[in-house]
A and B are shown apart, each in its own frame.
Chain A
Amino acid sequence: MQQRVKEKALELLRNGTVDRVIGWKTGEFFYDLTPAVFETAEEIEKDFVFSGFSGANLSKYAIAQSRAAGKTAIFLKPCDSYSFQQLLKEHRILRENIYIVGIACEGMLDMEKIRAAGCEGVVSVKENGEELIVETLYGDRTLSRKDCLLERCAVCKSKKVVIFDEMLGEQGDEQETARFDRVAELEAMTPEERFAFWRGELSRCIRCNACRNVCPACSCEKCVFDNDKSGVRNKAAADPFEENLFHIIRAFHVAGRCTDCGECSRVCPQNIPLHLLNRKFIKDINELYGTYQAGADMETKSPLTDFTTDDCEPSIVHERGGVK
């Protein structure tokens, strides 16, 4: 697959289908692949990489690139395709300027987990089916791929690419997973325990804004946190709690639009489990208004911006301690 993706990128550029390709290239290390826009075959030959570390969700870059002259190709893994379609639904991407290549996905790798398995001085990781051959300065190690997946891939919600012009590999299906188990655990805590949990997690935040910058739902022309009129721009936090609220506000802003792509947690340098905030919203929406997956299709209205006369009163439902 790694080779097929690169060849497809070359083919699309060479045969003139597109003028540029959004893909991944190596960063400082082999495992920190970053999104990149390639305009020539030479650039692709030199830098384009698709591997188990191509976790980065490229959909957000289509907003700007779809407005550039000519046509742009983009590679979308299943979870990325949900983000892409959600942005399309919000009129952010000009569909006619984009050529989508869907990629079947076996789950992306988490370097932290490889290190946690005791691998130090990792030089390269070779993917061999269910096995990973980890080459280190101290010799090779073999690990099971499924033990080294990103959290979001370990509980993958869907292997289906929901929007594409062309598909590489087998189209998959939506999957039943345990992705809400941790949320349920948090819900079971007392309010004091939960507050302490989140104060602890969020206390590590350094406000690098990586979560916001990577999030496809956080693609506003101007973020409220950068908006002079909001009254919070460049405002010094009065106390650490005010700083913590950044994440709560952000979760509210993306509620109903978040597809649970998990990028926020993947990029967080402090390993804050930010996806749990979003998943709590998704879980609540599913329970109160019926199952809803943002970006799954172009038609369904988000329950939070839709009103039907039989909508429940969330507060009443929660008082009853149950589902609708």
Chain B
Amino acid sequence: MQRIGVFVCWCGSNIAATVDVEKVSQVLAQEPGVVFSTNYQYMCSQAGQEMIQESIHKYNLTGVVICSCSPRMHEATFRKTCEKAGLNGHMVEIANIREQCSWIHKDKDVGTEKAVVLGRAAIAKVHLNAPLTAGQSPVKKRALVIGGGIAGIQTALDIADAGFDVDIVEKQPTIGGKMTQIDKTFPTLDCAACILTPKMVDAAQNEKIHIYSYAEVESVKGFVGNFNVTIKKKARYVDETKCTGCGLCTEKCPQKKVPNAFNLGLDNRRAIYIPFAQAVPKVATIDADYCTMLKSGKCGVCSKVCTAGAIDYKQKDELIEQEYGAIVVATGFNPIKLDKYDEFAYSQSPDVVTSLEFERLMNAAGPTGGTLLRPSDGTHPHTIVFVQCVGSRCDDGRGKSYCSKICCMYTAKHAMLCREKYPDTDVYVFYIDVRTPGKNFDEFYRRAVEEYGVHYVKGMVGKVVPQDGKLKVQASDLLGDRQLHIDADMVVLAAAIEPDETARPLATKLTASMDTNDFFTEAHPKLRPVESPTAGIFLSGACQGPKDIPETVAQASAAAAKVIGLLCKDSLTCNPCTAQPDELMCNGCSSCEKVCPYGAITYADKEFRGPNRTTLIRRMAQVNPAVCQGCGACTVACPSGAMDLKGFSNKQIMAEVDAICR
């Protein structure tokens, strides 16, 4: 029989307001095995922890039940407390009477009753607990960064700077991400390429950084400190080691009508291409969807003109396996598709563009060479209407409920740049609110209004109709309480941003959690903002939520700091709650091996003594405790119930259920 101490925490008024803590400690004192029961205002305080330690000594406690907040919050704290008093940390159970009880109940009687039940379940489990000892597992001193935008590049540079090897996996043929498509950056208006491309080159030249461009993460196995990742390098039909990036092939390729994805389809490129002049790596890639050689076997022009002999039409996708100690997700964002917003005539008129397309139209390396021209007829637009919140803060189900955060500022930037370069243009911005919380942000916006004379109108555009070469814009001016009709030459839509479409499948591979909008969830929104709840997975940039460039870079460096902190360690303490098969019951059927996400289970033939001095040889599951993460998948897959999880055995869980149902 265990000698159990019960400690009920008030958590100030967090618990005590809706749970009668005195009654809970009195009722639980009557449970079998409980030799001491008390309550205290803050059990996690130094005084509270000392009280637990003194009681362990005074009453010779062999088990401790703490009725407090979620174990995610303080289980580690209380385990340490008890270990200092000589009790094994796994003899401590937490009954969560805050998140699962006091915070969700209003009625004190109901809350008190439930707290007692939760306490009883924890006591029932402690009766079956056994001391567990954790082992150590080594840390692979190499990091993987998934996504090579500004977030991924910054994270990789910082990790490499600390002396660790980093690999960047980028699905596009070049690193750089969305920032390469942006013209100027707010609030300083410096050119995006000027500040980004040196970083891209730094990453490429850094000995510690290896860039897998045109590659994707195929599968992820393992766990913190020991991830085993398969990277798929997609066939680019060009030998990266031979290609000099001279670009001759991209000029000679006869297939000229490929929509140029880098310019968002505003112009065309060849079937073999280098996305833009400063691409890193500067290596050509063949677009297999358009290349006539790959499709019909007739052409081969690029191969003939390539003096380096780099073209290889037979190249295949290549799988690379690599081990990592930590993984950083930096998959970024995309503007949403606007097919549900027909009222803005995006699909009807080429002169209705998204803000990112507008960036390309303003950019010196863009389809118009930096002169702002209407895509439809190449004339200079005189009246431009900007529409904000297209799909953001949207509650009609067509868009996103959240604020995309960056649109107010880039729209102010666009409006300001238009007025500066082309003072003869009339610029209107329609907004719900203008949100400018950020260093020098509001000053920037006010300059747009006050110095550059941009017409800011509070209200939304109801309809855009292409008519006689103009765009008839119908909008409401809420402050002036009137309807506006504007004959515009161009309309620019600030489309909401959403996580990249690769984020959801990647999260599944990483077992990292996501919110309903497919943004990666952080371990704690305030206190652990750059870590995923999955150990060893870190978050960088807009994959975690909408962010501008300064915030992205700050988070990227923060994630790098966390990775460096992890890779500095030589070994990590393993989880002692690992699976263990009962050899007498194991069928050797391999069900557990099939579901084990960590590859912790192997099989061996073992001799058993049968009746009448015979020996039987049976196939038997074996768990490697250094690899097992205690997820418990095997225990439910096992048809005979031979597999059990230390610390969470079926018996312990059934005892808890029984105690709750009693």
Contact = CB atoms under 8 A, between A and B. Distances in A.
Interface string B620-661: 000000000000000001011110100000110010000000
Interface stretch (B49-57, B271-279, B583-591): B583-591
Interface string A194-236: 0000000000000000000000010111111001011100000
Nearest to A67: B616
Most chain A CB inside 10 Å of its own CB: which residue of B590, B597, B644: B590
B84 interface: no
A301 interface: yes
B294 interface: no
B619 interface: yes
A92 interface: yes
Contacts of B644: 229
Given A91-B588, A230-B650, A220 B639 contact: yes
Contacts, number: 61
B590 A90 contact: yes
A217 B591 CA distance: 13
B588 A305 contact: no
Nearest to B608: A221
Nearest to A218: B639
Contacts of A217: 639
Interface in B206-236: none
A15 interface: no
Contact of A305 (B505, B585, B637, B641): B637
Q: Sort chain A's interface into a size bin.
A: 20 to 34
B230 to A, nearest CB: 14
B646 to A, nearest CB: 14
A92 B589 contact: yes
A309 B508 contact: yes
Interface string B344-370: 000000000000000000000000000
B594 A220 contact: no
B618 interface: yes
Contact of B585 (A227, A253, A301): A227
A60 interface: no
Contacts of B44: none
Contacts of B588: 91-92
A86 to B, nearest CB: 10
Contact of B595 (A227, A253, A257, A305): A305
A90 B589 contact: yes
A305 B651 contact: no
Nearest to A232: B654
Contacts of B590: 90-91
A90 to B, nearest CB: 4
B509 interface: yes
Interface string B593-609: 01101000001000000
B582 interface: yes
A138 interface: no
Nearest to A304: B637
B640 A224 contact: yes
Contact of B654 (A231, A307, A309): A231
A231 B651 contact: yes
A53 to B, nearest CB: 31
Contacts of B637: 304-305
A307 B639 CA distance: 18
B651 A222 contact: no
Contact of B640 (A67, A222, A301, A306): A222
A45 B619 CA distance: 37
Interface in A233-255: 253-254
A59 to B, nearest CB: 15
Given A227-B585, A229-B651, A230-B650, A305 B594 contact: yes
A221 B587 contact: yes
A302 B590 CA distance: 12
A221 B584 contact: yes
Contacts of B586: 221
Contacts of B585: 220-222, 227
B47 to A, nearest CB: 41
A67 B605 CA distance: 13
A231 B641 CA distance: 12
A253 B639 contact: yes
Contacts of B594: 301-302, 305-306
Contacts of B587: 90, 92, 219-221
Given A90-B589, A231-B651, A309 B509 contact: yes
Contacts of A253: 639
A219 B587 CA distance: 9
Nearest to A253: B639
Given A67-B616, A91-B589, A91-B619, A230 B641 contact: yes
A317 B576 CA distance: 37
Most chain B CB inside 10 Å of its own CB: which residue of A90, A219, A254: A90
A213 to B, nearest CB: 15
Contacts of A301: 594
Contacts of A222: 584-585, 640
Given A90-B590, A91-B589, A227-B585, A220 B651 contact: no
Nearest to B586: A221
A227 B508 contact: no
B591 A221 contact: no
Given A229-B582, A309-B505, A221 B651 contact: no
A92 B651 CA distance: 27
A55 B281 CA distance: 68
Contacts of A223: 640
A69 to B, nearest CB: 11
Nearest to A254: B639
A257 B508 contact: no
Most chain A CB inside 10 Å of its own CB: which residue of B508, B586, B589, B644: B589
B619 A307 contact: no
Nearest to B641: A224
Interface in B553-599: 582, 584-591, 594-595, 597
Interface in A287-317: 301-302, 304-307, 309
Most chain A CB inside 10 Å of its own CB: which residue of B585, B618, B639, B650: B639
A257 B639 contact: yes
Given A91-B589, A305-B594, A307-B595, A221 B618 contact: yes
A217 B640 CA distance: 11
Contacts of B641: 224, 227, 229-230
Contacts of B509: 309
A315 to B, nearest CB: 16
Given A229-B651, A253-B639, A257-B639, 19 more contacts: A90-B587, A90-B589, A91-B588, A217-B639, A220-B639, A221-B584, A221-B618, A221-B642, A222-B584, A223-B640, A227-B585, A227-B641, A229-B650, A230-B641, A231-B651, A231-B654, A305-B594, A305-B595, A307-B595
17 contacts: A67-B616, A91-B588, A92-B587, A92-B588, A220-B585, A220-B639, A221-B585, A221-B587, A223-B640, A231-B654, A253-B639, A257-B639, A301-B594, A305-B594, A306-B594, A307-B597, A309-B505
Interface of A: 67, 90-92, 217, 219-224, 227, 229-231, 253-254, 257, 301-302, 304-307, 309
Return the 5 tightest CB-CB contacts between A and B, nearest first.
A220-B640, A90-B589, A305-B594, A224-B641, A222-B585
